[in-house]
Chains A and B, each alone.
Chain A
Amino acid sequence: MTVTAPEIPRTAAARLRWALADGWTVTLRSLHHWARTPGRLVAALLFPVMIVLMFGYLFGGAMAVPGGGDYREFLMPGMYAMTMLFGIEATFTAVARDATKGVTDRFRSLPIASSAVVLGRSVADMLNTVLGLAVMIVCGLAVGWRYHEGPARAALAVGLLLLLRFAFLWVGIYLGLTLNGPEAVMAVQILVWPVGFLSSAFAWTGTMPGWLAAVAEWNPLSATMAATRHLFGNPGAGGTTWVAEHAAVMALVWPLLLVAVFLPLSVRRYRRLDR
C-alpha cells in the first residue's frame, strides 16, 4: 500500500487548521510520555513538595515572618512561584533533547508549520504546570496554608503564576535552542537555584541586608510572590523598594517583558537553524 501525503494547504484558514492539528499531535506526544513514564512525572511533581516539607518544617522554626505570621503561610506563595521557575528546566531539557537527537530536524523536514512544534510544546508544558500547581496547592492546604481573600482573588493569583510560567516557557525554549550538551543541562539545573533563592521565596526580604533585599525584590520572581501573597492574604507582601511597592503591576510587567524578549529571540533562533 502506498500512502500519498495530502496537498499543502494554500489558504490561511486551512493553514491554521493544520497548525492547530499538528500542535495537538505534538502535545499528545508529551501526554504519552506522562503515561509511559509515570515515575518521572510523579518525581517531578513531588520535588517541590519535598522542598516545602524541608523548608516548612526543618528551617521554618527559625524564620522571621512580618507581623509574626505563620511561616508556611508565607512560604507557599513563594513555592508556587518557585514551581513555575523549575518549569524552565523541564522546557529547556525537552527542547534541547529534541535538538540533539535530531528530532527537531525531522520536524523541520515535515510539511508542518514551524509554529506547530512550539504550540504543542507550550500546551503540553502549561498542562503539566497546571497539574504541578494543583499538587502544590493540595500540599499547601495540607501543611496549613490557606487563602483568605476569597476564591476570585485566589484564582487571580493562580493566573499570575501561570503567566509567569508562560514567560519562563519562552526562556526555556530559547535556552534549549541555543545551548546543548550535558554541561548546558547541568548549568541550567544549577543556575535555577541561585535565581530562586535570591528572591522572597524562602526568606522575608525584611531580614536581609539592604542591598541584598533590593536585589531580591528586583527579582521578577519576587514580584509574582509578593502579588500572590497579597491576593491570597498571606503575610510577607510589600517591601522597601519601588518594585516591592508596585508588585501587582510588576507581576504583569516582568512576565510580559520576558515574553517580549524571549519569544522573538526564540523565533529568530528557530528560523536561523537553516543558516
Chain B
Amino acid sequence: MTHAVTAEGLRKRYGDTPALDGVDLAVREGTVHGLLGPNGAGKTTAVRILTTLLRPDGGTARVAGFDVVRQAADVRRSIGLVGQHAALDEILSGRQNLVMFGRLHHLRPAAARARADELLARFGLAGTGTKPVGQYSGGMRRRLDLAVGMICSPPVLFLDEPTTGLDPRGRTEVWDAVRALVAAGTTVLLTTQYLEEADQLASRVSVVDAGRVVAEGTPDELKSALGGDRLDVVVRHTADLPAAAAIAGRVTGAPGDASVDLDADARRVSAPVRDRSAALPEVLRALDAAGITVADIALRRPTLDEVFLHLTGARNTTENTTGKAAAG
C-alpha cells in the first residue's frame, strides 16, 4: 500500500525550545491518520511543516509524493488545509468565499461558481444565501472551512483540531463531513486532543508528546497495549468507594493502587482485568460479601483517554495553553 504522507526525523526548534524532536510518520492512502497529543506536543508544528507553511530544521517529509521543501508548489496543489481557526473572510458570504478560493485554485469563473454551489449543497450550507460568514455558527464555519479545503478535491487533507471549540452537534456535523470525504478517497491527517475524535475517525493514531511520536498503531492496538480490558463498578453509596476499589484491585490482581481509577463524582471504580470471564462474577461476589450495593458493573475496552494518559504520563492534558507556538 502506498503512503500519501511520510515524514522522517522531522525537527523544528523555536529559539531554544524544541517543538519537534525527530517525528516519523507514515500515512496510508485513503485513510484517516490521527495525530493525538496534548497542547504543545508539536501537532500543529508538524501540520505546518507538512503543508509548507513552516520550514523544518531537519528531517524530510513527502506529501502526495512531493518533497515539502523542494517541491512546495506541487505540495500546495495537492493538499487542503483546515487550520485551527476557520480561515475565512468574515465579511463575504459563504458562496463568495468558495468562489474566491476556487479562483485562487485557478478554476475558471464559471467552474468556481458551479463548484461553490455544489460544495454548499454537500456541506448543508445551501440555504445561507448572502449572509456574511461572520454571522455563521461555529459548526457552519467549520463546515465551510472544510468545503474550502475540498475545492480541488485534494488527495491529502490536513485537519488541525477541526472540532476545537464546537458544541457536540457541530462536532458531529464535522465528523460526518470528514467521513464522507474519506469515503470518496481522500487521505486525511487529523490532529486532535480529543481522544474520542481519534477513536471515531482515525484508522491509525500516532500519539505525540513533547515533539516525539511516543506510540503508533490502530486505536485497538493502542488500547490492547495498555493491558486489555477494564472492569467498571458503579456503587450506590459514595462511602463504599474505597472498599470497592480495594476489592476490585485484589480480585483482578491489579498490581498496586495506581492502576485502579477512582471517580468519586460518578461513584465509579475502574480496574484493569486479565481474565475476562472470571473477573466479573468474582468481583460481584466479593462486593456482595462485603455488603456493598452495586448500581452497575461492566467489562469494557479501555478508552483512548486512558491509553493517552498512560503514554504521556498525564501531563498537560487539562491545561489549555494559547498562542501559536505553544498550541499543538
Contact = CB atoms under 8 A, between A and B. Distances in A.
Interface of A: 1-8, 18, 21-22, 25-26, 28-29, 32-33, 36-37, 101-103, 105-112, 273-275
A8 B77 contact: yes
A110 B92 contact: no
B76 A109 contact: yes
A28 B100 contact: yes
29 contacts: A3-B107, A3-B111, A3-B153, A4-B152, A5-B78, A5-B105, A5-B154, A21-B103, A21-B106, A26-B104, A29-B89, A29-B92, A29-B100, A36-B91, A36-B93, A101-B85, A102-B83, A103-B87, A103-B88, A103-B89, A105-B81, A106-B101, A108-B52, A109-B51, A109-B81, A110-B105, A273-B53, A274-B52, A275-B55
Given A5-B106, A8-B74, A25 B79 contact: no
Contacts of B148: 106
B217 interface: no
A203 B74 CA distance: 57
Nearest to A180: B324
B84 A102 contact: yes
B132 to A, nearest CB: 7
Interface in B70-118: 73-74, 76-79, 81, 83-93, 96, 100-101, 103-107, 111, 115, 118
Nearest to B154: A5
A102 B153 contact: no
B54 interface: yes
A1 B104 CA distance: 19
B174 interface: no
A108 B154 CA distance: 16
Nearest to A40: B91
Contact-size category for B: 35 or more
A108 B104 CA distance: 11
Nearest 8 A/B pairs, CB to CB: A102-B87, A2-B153, A5-B152, A106-B87, A111-B77, A109-B81, A25-B103, A102-B85
A1 B81 CA distance: 20
A51 B84 CA distance: 42
B53 A112 contact: no
Contacts of A26: 104
A103 B87 CA distance: 5
A92 to B, nearest CB: 17
B151 interface: yes
Contacts of B55: 274-275
Interface in B144-174: 148, 151-154
A109 B53 contact: yes
Contacts of B91: 32-33, 36-37
A28 B115 CA distance: 19
A111 B52 contact: no
A3 B103 CA distance: 12
B44 to A, nearest CB: 11
B77 A5 contact: yes
B153 A4 contact: yes
Given A3-B111, A28-B100, 14 more contacts: A1-B115, A2-B153, A3-B151, A5-B154, A29-B100, A36-B132, A37-B91, A103-B87, A105-B87, A108-B53, A109-B52, A109-B76, A275-B54, A275-B55
Contacts of B104: 22, 25-26, 107, 110, 112
A109 B83 CA distance: 10
A3 B54 contact: no
A106 B53 CA distance: 9
Nearest to A100: B85
B191 to A, nearest CB: 15
A33 B92 contact: yes
Contacts of B51: 109
Nearest to A15: B73
Nearest to B122: A1
A273 B51 CA distance: 13
Contacts of B152: 3-5
Contacts of A21: 103, 106
Contacts of A273: 53
Given A18-B106, A25-B103, A105-B83, A3 B73 contact: no
Nearest to B153: A2
Contacts of B154: 5
Nearest to B102: A3
Contact of A106 (B74, B83, B103, B184): B83
B96 A32 contact: yes
Contacts of A103: 87-89
A148 B179 CA distance: 70
A107 B87 CA distance: 9
A18 B76 CA distance: 15
Nearest to B57: A275
Contacts of A1: 115, 118
